[in-house]
Structure 1
């Protein structure tokens, strides 16, 4: 079963004013790459997304993680993706050609959903994950990520890819590594060498 919760905060400014600096940590590594990997709900909000973000980035791509540090009620710090407006993340997005966002949903069923407006890259990632034997869907699901304000679509091109990964995969280090390897491999040759 997929759980839907309503956000308490509709902007980073509102969250920061209420929660202060101790509730979260921002992790940003800018390698001057044209590709950025983003985990807007990292730390204790959607566990495993920070680690996946770092693994996909490897030592090649930029990455940004908004990590909730609260031991309890960390999901309260969730800002939905089309409202996620933390300034450092927006700045990184605005200088990126390609953005991949990493999210988690609460199902224990093994599944990955792909969204975002970059249909070409989404299809290539879809095929790479299928080849790696992951159950994946790129259509007919609720995680479409098609809002132009979705952080995955805030790149210079106005499009990106959103990965929604079940708890089943996020909770296993080996599975995280295999997912990251498949996605990193695609990004390493995209758009060069990809037809």
Structure 2
């Protein structure tokens, strides 16, 4: 359940990273300065059994692969040329509560990264592909106990991937009541994160695709604006977050089980994925790297 979080902490390192990146990225100075002055944030941590990923990994030592799993992909990059600059992967997709914790977010994470959730083949075949990271609950029941709220994530791989990305899109699940969606139209997505341009592109593309979008600014417990949220621990100090209601996620699969979801995706799943990938493409196209 939602609750208020403490005042965000801004470190000297975060300021330095943000400012240096602003010098290499066109048109970002004003949003970055606004992000540094953001108001206190909120998240959902009431009921968490573990205060951090480290505590979870320690107390469940030896149970990775049965109780929980971590999956990620960092694409190989190399520049051996003295004269030519090669681009790097700018965006990472994350599902921090995948598997049976917030169902459907693992499959969406893979598809938004450009991989079919059942076959891991590049989909669409022409790409592009993005880096991704997931934490997943594997239990047959009781996966909520494995939930670690985003601002408390200290997984070293997750954070290193966020720190080395210009953008992160983090996928989460919520209830219709938490999202403020009416009972008559519970299928909705809350769009948050500190990157204003990213929020705008996601809103435009998802609305164009026929999905009900809700501005995270109206829901402080779901807005994803805490600076310690991995979606904002990027090179720019800002990113994007989506909170999908249970009903919306249910509409994306005909067999909503851990085994069944990868092979039973519906047109709504692919329409949602395509809209988000389009928003990512729009965001990246405006980011000039020197």
- For Structure 1 versus Structure 2, the TM-score category normalised by the shorter chain is over 0.9
Q: Which moved more, 1:178-187 or 1:27-36?
A: 27-36
Structure 1 residue ranges without an equivalent (≥5): none
Q: Distance in 1 between matches of 2:70 and 2:284?
A: 29
1:193 Cα offset (Å)? 5.7
Greater strand share, structure number: 1
Q: Which residue of 2 aligns with 1:41?
A: 97
Is 1:75–2:119 an aligned residue pair? Answer: no
- TM-score, normalised by the number of residues in structure 2: 0.63
Contact 1:169 1:176 in 2 (8 A): no
2:106 aligned residue: 50
Residue 167 of structure 2 is aligned to residue 98 of structure 1 = yes
2:246 aligned residue (162, 167, 171): 167
Which residue of 182, 188, 195 corresponds with 2:275? 182
Q: Which moved more, 1:168-177 or 1:156-165?
A: 168-177
Offset from partner CA, 1:34-70 (integer Å, 9 cap, x none): 1000000000100100001111111411111111112
Which of 1 and 2 has greater Rg?
2
CA RMSD of superposed structures (Å)? 1.9
Q: Which residue of 2 aligns with 1:63?
A: 132
SS of aligned partner of 1:13? helix
The count of aligned residue pairs is 193
**Counterpart in the other structure of 1:156:** 235
Q: Distance in 2 between matches of 1:131 and 1:48?
A: 22
For structure 2, the 5+ residue unaligned runs are 3-43, 78-88, 115-121, 123-128, 177-182, 253-264
